[in-house]
Structure 1
């Protein structure tokens, strides 16, 4: 029997005595009994192991650093994790991100719901508006309730054409208009302008409207009442207005603004005359920031515009002909290449004679001398006049410490040579400390740029490191921002001078 039991494989017939059969059956019974005992012990061990795992998890749960983070800090972490990489837009799916946070665990859900700032911004794209939310009318009230005492920043995007979804969305928001601090709307005006008339905005501080869709422009006019919508006149806190108009429908033809209380006004228009916007500016006496990008000139001369509090301005240089603003600190000039640039130069000179501003920052944006001419002589003369006008504009503002060119496309070498300090002539921009060049130049300007920098730089131990030794008393250049491909041309970089990438 022992011989059989020691074999792992039996390859022949065997004969067993009755006693052998009895012995084997008893052995099987004993082994099965021992196996049952072991299995019961294993079950108990598994239960004990699971209990220990639960105990360990509970201890780790208590010891977890996230449990010891104050609720205020945890709320800040949640808010940062839900922020967009760049600017807030209607396309940013804040609903999805807050849903993920609230689904992690009960503690996180309670922490999220107890963080009002997490719910104080709502972004909705009507095209992607979830069906489940459209069926649950109460979700919006819950969202607004979680803001508690905070106001709501609302970003909405409507379909390119008027749609039922867009109107349903805005109808659901109407009851909460009293909570809105910021209203940013992109889309067809007929989806929301007729409904704004029925809204109340006691907390509204900022609006940003972008209109697109030519076919919708005419539909909107037909849907509106004969008189302009005056809902925004009842917004006592409204200070910031942005309008981007890419059709021949201007918001100002259908919407009234509380012009006297505005401090910031930004308008971009491709098809509307400047007249309608200039007429508005006559009433904006408290403006501090103005950005007016209108690509169509005025049909006729308007009365002068006086904005006594204006500090930051970005507009077509020709519009300065009508503006008086003695407190301007930063000026960005852009010029349509189809216009005669000499008019811009004259307008700037006339503006400064009236305003006598002590400008600290000046930018040229979208300046271009790449026009088409009948012959080379005419082109050469025009380019020379272009640079003379640029230099003339700079000479009007000797107090400028920051000068930059944004998205320019012209030969910058004559301008750089004019900015180079030379004892034989008066210094142009003697207070210049910061220079920024973001241009697609027609010619390499590395040698002229290096000469300019070296003429405006000297070691720290010269005259205290601030003012040059010569009679010009120009300030030392501190920073230069330019295209990265010009970095190597400036090597070795003078000590103390900071070189930056102008694309950042």
Structure 2
């Protein structure tokens, strides 16, 4: 094998020949000379490596400058950032983007909408309160001047403990920019003292407010009330108000959406009477123990689109509520009797029919744990010609064979609720119907794709778009359902539970 300049064997032979006849001192001098040359070469190598690395960095920087991402206008880059941020992880995503490089950080920090996602603020952070408050301040500053959405939490609040800290002060400082505010405290209880502080702020941008359940922690002798008349844009409100000693004033006439848990029902109706522009209303309240006497004044709510009534307590009487209401634009009605401790809801069919005549365009009806009879429910159907969606939960008492048969389509006859195409039935108790009668009714209102294409069946009743049967059913019933599925009918069996 030929020797190379770096061959150790060749170098040994070379140096042996060079030092032939030399003394040990001469050889020591040769070693020092070589080591000196090594030092010089290493210095030259280090300098060259530094020059090489600098040139490599220069190349990388130049490539970085002409990369497609850097040719984008800042506005387009900010839009890309915005599209990469997910609602469920927007805090993590925003911080990640702002830590990629200084350029991206500069763009992110100057794009307020990236910092406007809903944030949850823990008001009871004690160990690192200042650090938490400083971080919150920076986050909120970057969102300015845009509106922000905030949820305030305080898990271990108790009476007499003030809700005041650097954290709460930072949140309250931007109250004029809140678009959405939710209060979620220990066991759902919100101290009235905190609500009062919020109500005293300017709430220029507030559109949606969730106050939770307000607990009285203000001395009864304190004349201050909770007034939100400084919220000119407020449209949606959710609130639980069970304390008679509290007075909460809201610009009711502005509201379009109201969810209210309140007792007694007269207070609920009095509040509703002030909501002249309400579109969606949901109430949890008790029923009347005594039916009011005399002819009630009818409250007209021309914009009401959806109404939900959930009753609890020892009375299920709700008819007085509907007796006093006219909602000609009503599309969705939900009635839930699941938390009442009575089998008597005082359903007065004539009164309910009168309500239906005042609200003739109801398309969705949800009924839970009703005490109607089969005849009552059939009467409801007779005055619900526009009904497209029906959901029955725990209504086995009224949904019997006679009621099911009344929904069955037979050639040459008129069927009840001819526009019905979306049906959900949740069987929670023992059945009061025969399974094959239910399947027969569902099948009678179905047309296969081939029948529709050939116009073999008249469009007297709507074709199903969704049928959902919840609960435990026998194997024979499941087989019948599977037969319908093979025909293309969109029917599903699911576990029960509301």
Q: TM-score range with shorter-chain normalisation?
A: 0.7 to 0.9
1:312: which partner in 2? Answer: 306
**Cα distance change of structure 1 residues 48 and 168 upon mapping to structure 2, 3 Å threshold:** closer
For 1:18 and 1:295, locate their aligned partners in 2 and report how far apart those are by CA, in whole Å: 119
* Shift, 1:256, TM fit: 0.6
* CA deviation vs aligned residue, 1:450-485 (integer Å, no higher than 9, x gap): 433321111345466889438xx2122123345599
**Cα distance change of structure 1 residues 448 and 25 upon mapping to structure 2, 3 Å threshold:** farther
For 2:407 and 2:443, locate their aligned partners in 1 and report how far apart those are by CA, in whole Å: 11
User: What secondary structure sits across from 1:276 in the alignment?
Assistant: helix
Matched, 1:242 2:233: no
For 2:182 and 2:455, locate their aligned partners in 1 and report how far apart those are by CA, in whole Å: 46
**Cα distance change of structure 1 residues 36 and 465 upon mapping to structure 2, 3 Å threshold:** farther
User: What secondary structure sits across from 1:43 in the alignment?
Assistant: helix
Q: Is the 8 A contact 2:464 2:490 kept in 1?
A: no
1:288: which partner in 2? Answer: 279
Q: Is the 8 A contact 1:310 1:327 kept in 2?
A: yes
**Cα distance change of structure 1 residues 95 and 386 upon mapping to structure 2, 3 Å threshold:** same
1:454: which partner in 2? Answer: 443
2:419: which partner in 1? Answer: 431
Give 1:1-20 correspondences, 5 Å limit.
Answer: 19=22
For 1:26 and 1:150, locate their aligned partners in 2 and report how far apart those are by CA, in whole Å: 79
For 1:497 and 1:70, locate their aligned partners in 2 and report how far apart those are by CA, in whole Å: 52
For 2:260 and 2:456, locate their aligned partners in 1 and report how far apart those are by CA, in whole Å: 41
**Cα distance change of structure 1 residues 453 and 67 upon mapping to structure 2, 3 Å threshold:** farther
Q: Is the 8 A contact 1:287 1:309 kept in 2?
A: yes
User: What secondary structure sits across from 1:219 in the alignment?
Assistant: coil
For 2:418 and 2:255, locate their aligned partners in 1 and report how far apart those are by CA, in whole Å: 35
Give 1:318-397 correspondences, 5 Å limit.
Answer: 318=319, 319-336=321-338, 337-340=340-343, 343-344=346-347, 346=349, 347-353=351-357, 355-364=358-367, 366-367=368-369, 386-397=373-384
Q: Is the 8 A contact 1:362 1:400 kept in 2?
A: yes
2:407: which partner in 1? Answer: 419
TM-score, with length taken from structure 2: 0.74
2:15: which partner in 1? Answer: none
* Shift, 1:293, TM fit: 1.9
User: What secondary structure sits across from 1:265 in the alignment?
Assistant: strand
Corresponding residue to 2:49 among 46, 49, 53:
46
* Shift, 1:111, TM fit: 1.8
Matched, 1:267 2:260: yes
2:111: which partner in 1? Answer: 115
* Shift, 1:344, TM fit: 3.9
* Shift, 1:219, TM fit: 2.0
**Cα distance change of structure 1 residues 321 and 339 upon mapping to structure 2, 3 Å threshold:** farther
User: What secondary structure sits across from 1:233 in the alignment?
Assistant: coil
For 2:487 and 2:55, locate their aligned partners in 1 and report how far apart those are by CA, in whole Å: 64
**Cα distance change of structure 1 residues 457 and 117 upon mapping to structure 2, 3 Å threshold:** same
* Shift, 1:310, TM fit: 0.8
2:208: which partner in 1? Answer: 206
**Structure 1 alignment gaps of length 5 or more:** 7-15, 86-91, 370-384
User: What secondary structure sits across from 1:54 in the alignment?
Assistant: helix
Q: Is the 8 A contact 2:203 2:231 kept in 1?
A: yes
- Structure 1 range deviating more: 63-72 or 100-109: 63-72
User: What secondary structure sits across from 1:404 in the alignment?
Assistant: strand
User: What secondary structure sits across from 1:127 in the alignment?
Assistant: coil
Matched, 1:105 2:109: no
For 1:182 and 1:309, locate their aligned partners in 2 and report how far apart those are by CA, in whole Å: 23
User: What secondary structure sits across from 1:343 in the alignment?
Assistant: coil
* Shift, 1:210, TM fit: 0.5
User: What secondary structure sits across from 1:55 in the alignment?
Assistant: helix
* Shift, 1:46, TM fit: 2.9
For 2:110 and 2:99, locate their aligned partners in 1 and report how far apart those are by CA, in whole Å: 15
* CA deviation vs aligned residue, 1:22-49 (integer Å, no higher than 9, x gap): 5753664465355435533542453244
Q: Is the 8 A contact 1:293 1:315 kept in 2?
A: yes
For 2:60 and 2:435, locate their aligned partners in 1 and report how far apart those are by CA, in whole Å: 64
1:375: which partner in 2? Answer: none
Q: Is the 8 A contact 2:334 2:366 kept in 1?
A: yes
**Cα distance change of structure 1 residues 64 and 204 upon mapping to structure 2, 3 Å threshold:** same
For 1:315 and 1:323, locate their aligned partners in 2 and report how far apart those are by CA, in whole Å: 13
* CA deviation vs aligned residue, 1:41-100 (integer Å, no higher than 9, x gap): 542453244224423532453355544555445444544555543xxxxxx8x7666445
For 1:425 and 1:338, locate their aligned partners in 2 and report how far apart those are by CA, in whole Å: 41
Q: Is the 8 A contact 1:116 1:150 kept in 2?
A: yes
For 2:57 and 2:493, locate their aligned partners in 1 and report how far apart those are by CA, in whole Å: 55
Matched positions, count: 451
2:198: which partner in 1? Answer: 196
* CA deviation vs aligned residue, 1:141-181 (integer Å, no higher than 9, x gap): x6555444433333222343254454654444444333333
**Cα distance change of structure 1 residues 485 and 333 upon mapping to structure 2, 3 Å threshold:** same
**Cα distance change of structure 1 residues 172 and 149 upon mapping to structure 2, 3 Å threshold:** closer
Matched, 1:493 2:495: no
